[in-house]
Amino acid sequence: MNDKNEADNVSAPGDARKKQTILSGMQPTGSLHVGNLEGALRNWVRLQDEYWMYCCLVDWHALTAEYKDPHVLKDNIFQMAVDFLAAGLDPERCAIFVQSEVKEHAELHLIFSMLITVPTLTRLPTYLEKKQQLDSYGFLGYPVLQAADICLYNAHKVPVGKDQEKHIWLANDLASRFNSLYRKVFNEPVGLFTETPLILGADNRKMSKSYNNHLPLDFTEKQTLKRIKSYYTDPEKVHQGDPGHPEGCPVFLLHQVYTAGASEEIAPPCRSGELGCVDCKTRLSDNLNAALRPIRDRRAQLLAQPDYVWDVLSAGADRARQRARQVMDKVRSAMKMNYRGNKK
């Protein structure tokens, strides 16, 4: 599908260079953490200058776990939007919006649900991992809604981690099935895989709110230091002076992101025992806090301007809705379901 109509909706400098569309989404779970920042947000900030970009806060997806308490979604959406903006996403260069404010997501989800079998969905990794905790139809159909999210904007690529590759395959497959059954409407999206640093939490597992091992962006500097001091350390390095093993240490992994020259400045004295874990963690905290300071300052400014944040989401939804309607017009036409427009 030709993306030239995008140029009418965006006025940021340099947009004429953009040729392809990407869709990024994140469940609104409140304020974000360092793992989100390094695993996704920094990459999105870079990509907004290269692609037509839609950044979606997927609140309908969040309902798979939050359906009993949807009242938490409003504040979670607000806090996440604040973090998106504080990290550098620019509403002049990308559309930032809430999924449920563009109803076409649900329409395309319904259409795609006719093109997929239940056994296919039950073989997907996410279902197999969580089927004991979540057993609703909404959870089973989650990947179909995800495919609709992507194809609704006719995205060419989706920036994701390798663990999401199966879901991108499903979006590609559904787009291909639709194109074969009716006529070509959709690009067949592919994953945009980029190198992201491994970010582990305080307990040496993947950084996650659900493990309570994370470093929230809204932590104060003192809270950050306290959390880093609680980090897992090398069990073989019991006393200062004992040789350490930086490879695989979650503190050293963060040093590699936030400490310039960590391989030369941190790893050798750790291995020799010259650098103790307490000093190592203090240095990390200093560097991490320095790197996060501009984001936290911007975050404080945005929290004082809630109307602005909601206006950004409203404007983003307007822009997303315009694109979604164009695509859905083509979908209905291909399926001969634009009844008033079809004379046969």
Taking the CA atoms of the chain, what radius of gyration do you get in angstroms?
22
Under 8 Å between Cβ of 80 and 299: no
3-state secondary structure of 275: coil
330: annotated active-site residue: no
Q: Which helix (H) or strand (E) holds 324?
A: helix 306-334
Return the number of other C-beta atoms located less than 10 Å from residue 175's C-beta: 23
Residue corresponding to tokens 């069990």: 235
Concatenate the DSSP letters of all residues of 3-24 into one string. -GGGGGT---TTGGG---EEEE
Residue corresponding to tokens 């509403």: 91
Active-site annotation holder among 166, 184, 206, 229 = 206
Residue 32: closest CA among 100, 73, 71, 86: 86
Q: Output phi, psi for 224, to 5 deg.
A: -65, -45
What is d(CA 71, CA 98) in angstroms, rounded to the nearest whole number? 15
The torsion angle over the Cα atoms of residues 217, 220, 221 and 226, rounded to 10 degrees, is -90
What is d(CA 20, CA 6) in angstroms, rounded to the nearest whole number? 10
68: annotated active-site residue: no
Residue 51: closest CA among 242, 187, 207: 187
Residue 1: closest CA among 317, 318, 321, 326: 326
| Residue type at 254 in one-letter notation | L
User: In the structure encoding, which two tokens stand for residue 330, read together?
Assistant: 């083509």
209: annotated active-site residue: yes
| Helix%, strand%, coil% for the chain, nearest 5 | 55, 10, 35
What secondary structure letter does DSSP report for 26?
E
Active-site annotation holder among 18, 19, 74, 130 = 130
Active-site annotation holder among 184, 209, 222, 226 = 209
Under 8 Å between Cβ of 89 and 40: no
Residue 78: closest CA among 321, 307, 296, 318: 307
- Which residues are catalytic, by number? 130, 206, 209
